[in-house]
Every structure is written in structure tokens, then in C-alpha cells.
Structure 1
Amino acid sequence: MGGTTTHGAPYYFVPGQSKWPAVGAIALALFGFGLASWFNGASYGPWLFAGFVAVLIYMMVGWFGDVARESEGGLYSQRVDGSFRWSMGWFIFSEVMFFAAFFGALFYARSISMPWLGDLDHKSILWPDFTAIWPNAGPAGTIEAFQTMGPWPIPTINTALLLTSGVTLTIAHHALKENRRGSAQFWLLATVLLGFIFLGFQAYEYIHAYRDLNLKMTSGIFGSTFFMLTGFHGFHVTVGAIMLAVVLFRMTRGHFTAENHFAFEAAAWYWHFVDVVWLGLYIVVYWL
């Protein structure tokens, strides 16, 4: 994606037969069987999951490498560019729905089911000592005591890191559009580093939660929603940082022009989406 579009490009490029969809199907099969067997205590489960990771990396390097070579070879017309843009847009929309489901689960547990369980009709039947206060640990004695994760200092530091990374990425984009490649690479590298620093702080936050706060996945609805939302967001930060690192590597190889650089734009769209999701997490999970 994002190579030079030439006037000699075909009306709409149709690639030849490819092995990569089949390789991807093998990776997904290893993912399903590996994760299921791992969760059920099978000794071969981690090995199957490791096979999934290896096959997935092989597929992504090979498939995206083919696409990059086709793009740099001038095979993509404006119609193909439009298809890439629509595809990336729908992909990000699917990710929006993904996080909307998790935010919806948190809203339902916090604002609907908890007050419902705490009213007089249900309180006397289910849990006489239940108190509809968030975060809730359920009936006394069923969940180990834990402390919640507040916004200071790590979540606030991470918010500053992601907001700063959005600025550095925008500067890199403008530099690329002005054909200042050295400046674009510098600011893109800064963005990637900020992303990995964010992940380092989040790893430390999880260690602190388990070791010092006794906050775990088993800590009731608060623990499960906390780790589900922040964990999947961290996974998306990882994916976004890898995407930007690949774009940076391609820039050092001379790929992209000031006019045609959709791979950069697609990664930037994804990164800004990750930034926006974090702002929602920061307010809803850590402050409210």
C-alpha cells in the first residue's frame, strides 16, 4: 500500500493466485485449538498457540510484502487506492463496534444491573447485605478484597504519552506531504517510541494491580471489565505501534511519495482511533 500510482497501471489490478489466505486459515485453526486446549490445561496447548503466532507472522510478512511490492511496482490505480481506503475505514468501524460492546457491558453492569440488584424488591431476595455502590465485590466473602486503580500517576502519564504521540504522528505526516523525509522519519520514530513506552507503563500498572492492589481478572465485574477494556486497548496499541514501525522501515527503504502514501495514512488513522478510545477509557474506567 502507498506506493507510486502510475498512469500505466491497469484499470483495476487483480492479483494472481495466492497461498496467503490458506496460510491465514491454518493460523486461525491453530489459534482456536491452541487457546482452547491451553485454557483446559492440555500440555500441548501453549505449543499450538506458539505455532499460531509463528504462522501468523509468516503470513503477515509475506502477504504485506507482496502488497508493498505490487504497490511500489506501480500496479495500483486510483480505484485500488479507493478500495484500500474503504477497507481500512470499515475495519476501524468494526473496531469501534468491538470497543462499544465492552463499554456497553461496563455501562450495563454499573448503571443498570447494579441499581436493579440493590432495590428493595431484589435485595431482600438475593443478597440482603448487598450495597449498590461501584466498584462492587458482590456478596461478602465471595471475592477477595481489592483496591481500584486510580488515575494517578500511571494512567495520566499514559494519557499524556498517547496525546503527544498523536501530535508527533501528525507532524510526521505533514513532513512527508512536504517531502521532508528525514523529518518525517524522525517524528514517526518518536511516535513509535512513545507507543512502546506506553506499553511499558501499562505492564508496570498490571504488575502493581496484581501485587499491591490484589486487583485481578477474578475481582468481580470491576476486575473483569477493567482488564478486558485496558488489556484489549493495550493489544491495539501494540498492533498500531508495529504498523507504524513497518511504515517507518519502508520509509527508510525509499517507499512512499508526498502524493501517494496510503500505508502511512492507514496506520495513522488506526493510531488516532486508539488515542480516542484511550481517552474514553481514561475517563470512564479511571475517573468515574
Structure 2
Amino acid sequence: SGMYLIGSGVLLMHSSDNLVLFASLITLLLMFSWWSDVFSEASLEGGHSKKTVNLLKLGMILFIVSEIFLFISPFWAFFHSSSSPNVEIGSIWPPQKVVPFPVEEIPLLNTIILLSSGGTLTAAHHFLLKGEKKHSSSLMKLTILLGMLFTLLQGYEYLEAKFSMSDSSFGSAFFLATGFHGAHVIVGSIFLSACLFQIDKSKISFSQFICFEASAWYWHFVDVVWLFLFISIYWWGS
């Protein structure tokens, strides 16, 4: 489904948006099917064994490693283009007539928001381990709201952009990197929402809540990627 989603994203650039919608629906279906299976095993079928928990953790670690390599591509493209800008873009970086975003405005605000969400999620994890479900649930909701606010501000930034994806290698690398990251924030918000639903329903024991740990790892990974994006593309690249 991931390859299909990426392929449909390429076709989207050629005015073919139906496949993107279909690929997104398939991806969401697979996500919810996996979560439903994990939640069912943890709550209705006696809980996960130690071996199962270790395998789930290993699977999540390998998934995050694969995501790291996915993000290496747009970063590599950006650094390659910016380190030796060619004559077609005036041999300067950013290219002529491409106005980058002011670092101290939305990019800095989004950095504060996303790092704050990482802090609230860590606090929610600690409360969950102590069995304080109410405090954990409140902090989880705050984390999800911060993620949604980040997504809205990112969308507003795209609307206000003075360049597009077709404006030289700068525009292509910028929208590819930030777009990938924005998609991961949306997936992470959905992941956290699924865990929040289970916490509020008290369907999973706190000692075996592997899905929550996986969502926390994923969210912190998204935080780290954004820091690299902010430093390299918004600050250094502009």
C-alpha cells in the first residue's frame, strides 16, 4: 500500500487525483485492521506474551528505520542542489525569484508546537505507567490537538507560499520533504487517537500497552525529523 500511495502521489502531479484517494483509503484500512488486531489480542485474548511484545517492538523499530531511509532521499536532494546550484537557477541558492519562508514565523511556531507535543506525550506515558488513566488521557488529547494545530499551520503555510513544487529544485525538495513529514504527522495523530480510544475504554492493561509505546516512538521520530527539516531546509537552506 505504501508503494501504491507513493506512485499515486507521482500521478497526482500530472492531474490524476483519484488514485491518491483510493491509495489513502487502502492505507487507512490496513492501519485500522492492524490496530484492531493488536488491541484484540491485548485485551480480549489474554494479553500479549513476552515474545510477542518483543517481536512487535522489533517490527516497529525496523519500520522506523525504513522511514529514516525514506526521508534521506529528499534531504539528499536538497543538500545536493543547494551545495552546488547550477546555472539554470542562476548559480545561487535559493534560486532567483524564489522567496523562502521567514524562519522566525510559522516554521519556528510549528517547531515549538511539535516539541511541546513530544513533551506532553512523554508525560502521558509516565502517567499511564503509574495507572493514572485520567491524567494520561488528558495529556494524550492535548498531544493530538497540538498535532492537528501543526497540520493546520503547515497547510496555511502552503497556501501562503510564494513558490510552488515546480519552481526549481528548491520548490521540489521543499514540498517533498515537508509534505512527507506532514503526512507522517497526520498518521501519527490517527495512531495516537486510536490509542486514546482504548485508554478511555479501559480495554487494554497498562503493563501490556505495546501499541501506545509504538505510537510514542513514532511520534518522537516525527519530532526529530522536523528538527532536521527546520535546521536544514528552513534555516540553513534559506
- Equivalent residue, structure 2, for 1:81: 53
In structure 2, the partner of 1:193 is 145
Measure the CA separation in 1 of the matches of 2:154 and 2:6: 27
- What is the CA RMSD across the aligned residues, in angstroms? 2.4
Residue of structure 1 equivalent to 2:39: 68
Local SS of the residue matching 2:98:
coil
Q: 1:203 to 1:184 in 2, by over 3 A?
A: same
C-alpha distance after superposition, 1:80-135 (max 9, x if no partner): 11100000001101111111222111111111x32xx4xxxxxxxxx5x9743211
Secondary structure of the residue that 1:136 maps to in structure 2?
Answer: coil
Taking structure 1 as reference, are residues 103 and 36 closer, same or farther at Cα in structure 2, changes over 3 Å only?
closer
Counterpart position of 2:78 = 106
- Relative to its length, the structure with more helix (as a share) is 2
Partner of residue 158, structure 2:
206
Contact 1:158-1:198 within 8 A present in 2 as well: yes
2:217 maps to what in 1?
Answer: 269
Aligned pairs for 1:170-249 (under 5 A) are 170-209=122-161, 213=162, 215-249=163-197
Change (3 A) 1:99 1:39: closer
Judge conservation of contact 1:28–1:52 (CA < 8 Å) in 2: no
Query: Could you list the per-position Cα deviations for residues 148-175 of structure 1 after superposition, in whole angstroms to 9, with x for gaps in the alignment?
Result: 1121211111001001001100110000
Q: Does residue 163 in structure 1 map to residue 109 in structure 2?
A: no
Equivalent in the alignment of 1:14: none
Larger radius of gyration: 1
Report the CA distance between 1:240 and its aligned residue.
0.6
Deviation at 1:64, TM superposition (A): 2.5
When the two structures are superposed, what TM-score results if normalisation uses the length of structure 1? Answer: 0.74
Aligned length: 235
Gaps of 5+ in 2: none
Q: Runs of 5+ in structure 1 lacking a partner?
A: 1-23, 118-126, 138-144
1:176 alignment partner AA: L
Match of 1:5 in 2: none
Residue of structure 1 in register with 2:94 after alignment: 135
* Matched letter for residue 70 of structure 1: E
> What amino acid does structure 2 have at the position aligned with 1:252?
D
Q: Secondary structure at the match of 1:259?
A: helix
Percentage identity across aligned positions? 36
Give the deviation of 1:258 after TM superposition.
3.1
CA distance in 2, matches of 1:270, 1:247: 13
* Partner SS, residue 76 of structure 1: coil
Contact map agreement 1:176 1:257 (CA 8 A) in 2? no
Determine the structure 2 residue equivalent to 1:53.
24
TM-score for both structures, normalised by structure 2 = 0.89
Paired amino acid for 1:94: S
Indicate how the Cα distance of structure 1 residues 256 and 91 shifts in structure 2: closer, same or farther if over 3 A, else same: same
Please report how far the alpha carbon of residue 182 of structure 1 lies from its aligned counterpart in structure 2 after TM superposition: 0.2
